[in-house]
Amino acid sequence: MDDHQLAEPAAAPAAPAAAELASADAPAAAPFLPFALPDIGEEEIAAVVECLRSGWVTTGPTARRFEAAFRDYLGADLQAISVNSATAGLHLALESLGIGPGDEVIVPTLTFTATAEVVRYLGAQPVLVDVDAATLNMDPQAVETAITPRTRAIVPVHYAGMACEMDALLALARRHGLRVVEDAAHAFPTRYRGRLVGTLESDITVFSFYANKTMTTGEGGMVVVRDPELARRIRLMRLHGISQDAFDRYVSKTPAWFYEVVAAGFKYNLTDIAAAIGIEQLRKIDRFLEQRRRLAARYDEALAGLPLVLPPRPEGDSTHAWHLYVVRLKENAPLRRDQLIVRLSELGIGTSVHFIPLHRQPYWRDNCVFDPGRFPVAEAAFDAMLTLPLYTRMRDADQERVIHALHGLLSC
Ligand SMILES: *Cc1c(COP(=O)(O)O)cnc(C)c1O
């Protein structure tokens, strides 16, 4: 089950490419619509080729340029540290804060397993909490209830691309002396009350560039941090606990063979090949966002009459990254969620479920302390939810197919 969960999103984008090729000769068969698809253009391909030809393929000048460009995009006085996944970034973030055995870290149950597994890497205990019924984001009230004398940190997940109630969570953290690491895997770019996620008052924010996220480097992530001491620790532990990275040594005036190992670090650096893709994706991110917004608005309008709870709309100066478009079936819908997924799949439409709550997973059932009655919102949401296709290469006709299929299956 765990393997399936991990393999499934990676496998999904492969299907349409094959289907598209096949359908070139057989235009009658509509290609399978995935729920997500990366948007890689000639610019990314050229940048990778250039990197390959340059002779420097691991972490080096291109990763530095990517970090600088990302920091500039956020436009704040902070450091951006590239890593080979958001999972690695979350691990480094909690490690830099000194989280360890005996500590508790509060995590929402409605998230990907990575958010909680990194807590286990450090020998600490994830404590799962329920989400808010309207936004499916971590519920500040549930967080407050879960705080014990052992609680050290909270990890808000900006579900689907809309920010958590950060004012409430940050105030709570301040009041109880807790650290805050934002899992912003879905939230690039997202604004919370006018400010970009990554520039808020939390300790560290981690973004993901996995294949199905709002921008991709194949695999990759970015850790964003203000405190120079935390940044130093994260950079050190990103690469074996070695005090100078390979490129520093390559260009250094002092003898290149000398380095010092000052900790048992990890191997979490992002390659220049991946960073080259990231630089080009970042240049396009505002256009990607506009396209995602348009698709989301079109769904909102076209699905309004169906027995569906549509995604929440951020208020005021807050914005949505529209990484995922998640709908929930209402009680009076003629089909249950599992049936709807099968029927859509028969019509060549891919969907997904974000997420099977962690407290329902075999590992977390056995390795987390919780009372199963404590997740009424996540339980109800999980039973009713599915993620509809939304990606920048989606054409109007593709979306029309999804809308038409839903009207056919759900009109009462
Ligand atoms: C994708 C995802 C991650 C992990 O990102 P990777 O870059 O694949 O490690 C973490 N948290 C959430 C909520 C995610 O959706």
Among the listed ranges 68-77, 255-264, 270-279, 301-310, which one has the minimum average pLDDT value?
A: 255-264
Measured distance CA(219)–CA(127) in Å, rounded: 27
Measured distance CA(207)–CA(198) in Å, rounded: 9
Question: What phi and psi values does residue 340 have, to the nearest 5 degrees?
Answer: -60, -40
Q: What is the pLDDT of residue 245?
A: 66
Confidence category of residue 387, pLDDT binned at 50, 70, 90: very high
Question: What phi and psi values does residue 178 have, to the nearest 5 degrees?
Answer: -105, 150
In sequence order, the 6+-apart residues with CB closer than 8 A to the CB of 282 are 66, 69, 70, 73, 215
Mean pLDDT of the chain: 92
Q: 208 C-alpha vs ligand 1 centroid, how far in Å?
A: 6
From the CA of 208, give the closest atom in ligand 1: 7
Q: Which residues of 343-381 are buried (b: 16+ CB within 10 A; e: fewer)?
A: bbeebebbbbbbbbbbbbbeebeeebebeeebbebbbeb
Is the separation of the CB atoms in 272 and 377 below 8 Å? no
Domains of the chain, by residue range, sit at 16-36+284-410, 42-281
Percent of the chain whose predicted confidence (pLDDT) is above 70: 92
Task: Please write the tens of the pLDDT for every residue from 34-80.
Answer: 999 999 999 999 999 999 999 999 999 999 999 999 999 999 899 99
Confidence category of residue 24, pLDDT binned at 50, 70, 90: very low
Mutate which of 115, 121, 212 for ligand 1? The one with the most ligand atoms within 8 Å of its CB, which is 115
Q: What is the pLDDT of residue 246?
A: 65
Q: 215 C-alpha vs ligand 1 centroid, how far in Å?
A: 13
Among the listed ranges 22-31, 335-344, 395-404, which one has the minimum average pLDDT value?
A: 22-31
Mutate which of 82, 87, 137 for ligand 1? The one with the most ligand atoms within 8 Å of its CB, which is 87
Class of the CATH domain delimited by 16-36+284-410: alpha beta
Q: 87 C-alpha vs ligand 1 centroid, how far in Å?
A: 6
Measured distance CA(15)–CA(32) in Å, rounded: 7
Is the separation of the CB atoms in 327 and 309 below 8 Å? yes
Q: 135 C-alpha vs ligand 1 centroid, how far in Å?
A: 19
Nearest CA to ligand 1 atom 1: 185
- Catalytic residue at 267? no
Q: Is 42-281 CATH 1.10.1510.10?
A: no
Measured distance CA(375)–CA(296) in Å, rounded: 28
Task: Please write the tens of the pLDDT for every residue from 208-223.
Answer: 999 999 999 999 999 9
Q: What is the pLDDT of residue 83?
A: 98
Confidence category of residue 122, pLDDT binned at 50, 70, 90: very high
Q: Which residue has the higher pLDDT, 23 or 289?
A: 289
The neighbouring-strand residues paired with 196 are 191
Task: Please write the tens of the pLDDT for every residue from 172-201.
Answer: 999 999 999 999 999 999 999 999 999 999
From the CA of 157, give the closest atom in ligand 1: 13
From the CA of 88, give the closest atom in ligand 1: 9
pTM across the whole model: 0.92
Burial class (CB in 10 A: 0-12, 13-18, 19+), 412: exposed
**Same topology between domain 16-36+284-410 and domain 42-281:** no
Confidence category of residue 7, pLDDT binned at 50, 70, 90: very low
Q: What is the pLDDT of residue 47?
A: 98
Percent of the chain whose predicted confidence (pLDDT) is above 90: 85
Among the listed ranges 3-7, 94-98, 392-396, which one has the minimum average pLDDT value?
A: 3-7
From the CA of 220, give the closest atom in ligand 1: 7
- Residue 11, pLDDT > 80, answer no
Q: What is the pLDDT of residue 76?
A: 80
Is the separation of the CB atoms in 268 and 92 below 8 Å? yes
Question: What phi and psi values does residue 322 have, to the nearest 5 degrees?
Answer: 50, 45
Q: Which of 213, 267, 284, 330 is catalytic?
A: 213
Is the separation of the CB atoms in 146 and 118 below 8 Å? no
Reference 138, options 118, 154, 125, 151; nearest CA is 154
Among the listed ranges 24-28, 54-58, 339-343, which one has the minimum average pLDDT value?
A: 24-28
